[in-house]
Amino acid sequence: MKMRSALLVVLAATLAAGTLYAQVAESPLPRVVNKDGRFALFVDDAPYLMLGAQVHNSSSWPAMLPKVWPAMEYLNVNTVEMPIYWEQFEPRPGQYDYTTIDTLLTEARQHHVHLVLLWFGTWKNGSQHYMPEWMKLDTARYPHMVDRNGEAVDSPSPHAAASLEADKSAFTAFMRHLKEADPQRTVLIIQVENEAGSWGSVRDFSPAAQKLFEAPVPPEVLSAMHVKAASPSPNWPEAFGPNADEYFHAFSVAKYIGQVAAAGKAAYPLPMYANAALRDPFNPGRAGQPGASGNYESGGPTDNVLPIWKAAAPALDVLAPDDYQNDDATYLKVLELYHRDDNALFVPETGGPDNARFFFSALGLQTIGFSPFGLDYTHRTADRSLNQVDASRPQEEFLTPWAMNYRLVGPMQREIARLNFEGKLQAVAEEQGKVARTLPFGSWDAVVSFGAARNNRGAGNPKPAGRALVAQLKDNQFLVTGYFCRVDFRPTATEQQRKSQLIVEGTQQNPSALIDGKWQHRQFLLVEEGIYENGAFKPIRIWNGDETDWGLDFGGDPVVLRVSVATY
């Protein structure tokens, strides 16, 4: 009898909710938190670091998943980024197919990872290739953009009211379903569209767009861009001169996506972001002009229009760079440009195995997540340029540079995220030609050097691969980890005192500073190697003797140290 009434209760709950999903307890909503100028993604009400990987564009189909999960396991990710395809989700107007989403949720839970879902809606890399067929075949109702010569280009118009309404409806249905199907918050954050903007034209030159271009610029854009124009209500050319076309397009695309995001958030308020196909911050070229190298996609959240995007799309929590830059300075400049007082750094796509070390640079800028692209086993040879895949080599090989990062940080990602949110963490990666870095921590400097051998401070690794992370646990205690680097500590001196130093690091003497006429030498009180388990550091051995004679040396194995220092 008891059993029967319990069953009836479940049945009643199920009928009331309309599905079986409602029986799982709800976890707190993930959210992006900003405190004292620092950001964190809160998951289960605590800072969380997304150790991510994105699958190939066509790898979210259920039949592909057996080739996805083994790669994710090898990488030791805690979060997987996977597309949701509008064409699959809404095969006929208003008919939604939730099967793929449900499969992704189920399998992600079985593999103990979170998801970032990417809404491949109106835009994918500047085109409308993931729109449902019934839209693609009705270009009068769902128009392409038109270039200066009146030619349609391979990019959707951000002024197409019917496309906007269709995208809002589909995205809302998707979010409503997620709310119901995912009370455990497997999905952390949603990417709205993918690399929106256009390659074929700097903006839409359709009559509807032209009318808006000649109308007054919305006041929020003027104030975001600090425009002081001669007239009180300037139009786009008056306000922005030669940049007017590009800025107008950025506003139009951002406004459209902001409305899609807001509609979805009204159904289910998960954090949302948009990703950018970047421009080179040093040599930007021209927007929306294919051909010359260095030119870039127009209208997306490139570094020059971030304030316009913030003003036009407040429903987006984060604007995020897809960082595929090839040289160190450019890669790092991009990270800096997206780490702003009004924007958390999140790297939703990156590539190139030599860039794996820059995960540490992103950590040094309090990134909430990092996610190399195309890391599954569906597609081993297609992205040679990105991952330098050679089909004759073991399939794990192209994953290894990324896997090393996550093996090291994975067991302590919560601690890393918390320490970063509290402003206690610094991290760096080796850059070509820079052999040492000093990280200031109050009364101690952490001195990181690359390529150091016994009795010398190093001249850099043969190929830059070094990475280091130092976090202050107490005044004189630090968490220290990294690869291919040496870390040591030196008492801090003033600039003047620093200049008078005879010995600072890496010679026969320990790092020292001449402070107020008296030498202060570093001594290691205790160097514990250990592992984090359930938030607590568990020492496994004490380092001394050879292990600390020259500083703390990190090679290619994952090693985490808790270091207490003092002076003598």
CB of 180 to ligand DGJ, least distance (A): 28
**Residue closer to ligand DGJ, measured from CB, 346 or 373:** 373
CB 227 within 8 A of CB 234: yes
Question: Which residues 6+ apart lie within 8 Å of 12 measured at CB?
Answer: none
Least distance to ligand DGJ from the beta carbon of 351, Å?
A: 7
User: Do 255 and 158 meet the contact criterion of CB atoms below 8 Å apart?
Assistant: yes
How far is CA 61 from each of CA 115, 177, 180, rounded to the nearest angstrom?
15, 18, 21
CB of 322 to ligand DGJ, least distance (A): 5
Least separation in angstroms between CB 56 and ligand DGJ: 8
Q: Does 373 bind ligand DGJ (CB under 6 A)?
A: yes
Based on the shown chain and the rule CB under 6 A, indicate whether residue 119 belongs to the binding site for ligand DGJ.
Answer: no
Q: What is the nearest approach in angstroms of ligand DGJ to the Cβ of residue 349? A: 6
Q: Does 259 bind ligand DGJ (CB under 6 A)?
A: no
89 binds ligand DGJ per the rule CB under 6 A: no
Residue nearer to ligand DGJ on the CB measure, 195 or 245: 195
**Cβ proximity of 281 and 199 under 8 Å:** no
Task: List CB contacts of 88: < 8 A, sequence separation 6 or more.
Answer: 61, 97, 100
Residue 309 binding ligand DGJ, by CB under 6 A: no
CB nearer to ligand DGJ: give 54 or 367.
54
* 86 sits near ligand DGJ (criterion: CB under 6 A): no
Choosing from 90, 195, 204, 245, the residue that interacts with ligand DGJ (CB under 6 A) is: 195
Q: Which residue, 261 or 559, has its beta carbon nearer to ligand DGJ? A: 261
**Least distance from ligand DGJ to the Cβ atom of residue 125, Å:** 5
Distance CA 520, CA 500 (A): 13
Question: Interface with ligand DGJ includes 349 (CB under 6 A)?
Answer: yes
- The single-letter DSSP state of residue 411 is G
Contact at 8 Å (CB) between 413 and 481? no
Q: Is 352 left (phi over 0), alpha (psi -120 to 50) or beta?
A: left
Task: Pick between residue 57 and residue 206 the one whose CB is nearest to ligand DGJ.
Answer: 57
Helices 99-110 and 161-181: angle between axes, nearest 10 degrees: 40
Of all residues in this chain, which one has the CB nearest to ligand DGJ in the complex?
195
Nearest distance, CB of residue 195 and ligand DGJ, angstroms: 4
Instruction: Specify the DSSP element, H or E, that contains 410.
Output: none
The SS3 call for residue 428 is strand
Confirm or reject binding of residue 322 to ligand DGJ (CB under 6 A): yes
Binding status of residue 57 toward ligand DGJ by CB under 6 A: yes
List Cα–Cα distances, 455 to 185, 350, 486, in angstroms: 51, 37, 12
Residue 322 or 430 with smaller CB distance to ligand DGJ = 322
Distance of CA 286 to the CA centre of its chain: 25
If binding is defined by CB under 6 A, does position 171 make contact with ligand DGJ?
no
C-beta separation of 553 from 545 below 8 A: no
Size of the site for ligand DGJ (CB under 6 A): 7
Q: Does 355 bind ligand DGJ (CB under 6 A)?
A: no
Closest to ligand DGJ by CB, 290 or 530: 290
Nearer to ligand DGJ, 90 or 322 (CB): 322
Segment 23-52, which members bind ligand DGJ (CB under 6 A)? Answer: none
Phi/psi of residue 101, nearest 5 degrees = -60, -45
Q: How far is the CB of 65 from ligand DGJ (least distance, A)?
A: 18
Residue 468 CB partners (closer than 8 Å, separation 6+): 360, 427, 428, 437, 446, 448, 480, 481, 482, 485, 487, 554
Nearer to ligand DGJ, 76 or 194 (CB): 194
Nearest approach, Cβ of residue 213 and ligand DGJ (Å): 28
3-state secondary structure of 332: helix
Tokens matching residue 306: 């971030």
Q: Is 323 in the site for ligand DGJ (CB under 6 A)?
A: no
Rounding to the nearest 10 degrees, give the CA dihedral for residues 25, 30, 35, 39: 150
Take residue 374 and report the two structure tokens written for it: 């195309």
Give least dist CB 275 to ligand DGJ, A.
6
- Pick between residue 57 and residue 298 the one whose CB is nearest to ligand DGJ: 57
- Residue selected from 122, 125, 387, 481 as contacting ligand DGJ according to rule CB under 6 A: 125
Residue 155, interface with ligand DGJ (CB under 6 A)?
no
Minimum CB distance to ligand DGJ smaller for 222 or for 334? 334
d(CA 453, CA 471): 24
C-beta of 143 vs 348, nearer to ligand DGJ? 348
User: Exposure of 313 by Cβ count < 10 A (0-12 exposed, 13-18 middle, 19+ buried)?
Assistant: buried
CA–CA distance, 20 with 530 (Å, rounded to integer): 43
Smallest separation (angstroms) from ligand DGJ to the CB of 111: 22
Helix (H) or strand (E) holding 370: strand 369-372
For 36-99, strand residue ranges (E) read 38-43, 46-48, 50-54, 79-85
Does 520 contact ligand DGJ by CB under 6 A? no
The structure tokens 């807001």 sit at 262
- Shortest approach of ligand DGJ to residue 194 CB, angstroms? 5
| CB of 120 or CB of 444, closer to ligand DGJ | 120
Tokens standing for residue 125:
């890399």
Q: How many CB atoms lie within 10 A of CB 396?
A: 13
At residue 436, the 3 state secondary structure works out as strand
Does 191 sit near ligand DGJ (CB under 6 A)? Answer: no
Per rule CB under 6 A, is residue 304 in the interface with ligand DGJ?
A: no
Q: Which of 60, 128, 155, 194 binds ligand DGJ (CB under 6 A)?
A: 194
d(CA 506, CA 482): 18
Q: How far is the CB of 383 from ligand DGJ (least distance, A)?
A: 7
The span from the CA of 568 to the CA of 566, in Å, is 7
Shortest distance, position 373 Cβ to ligand DGJ, whole Å:
5
Q: Which is nearer to ligand DGJ, 126 or 511 (CB)?
A: 126
Residues that bind ligand DGJ (CB under 6 A): 57, 125, 194-195, 322, 349, 373
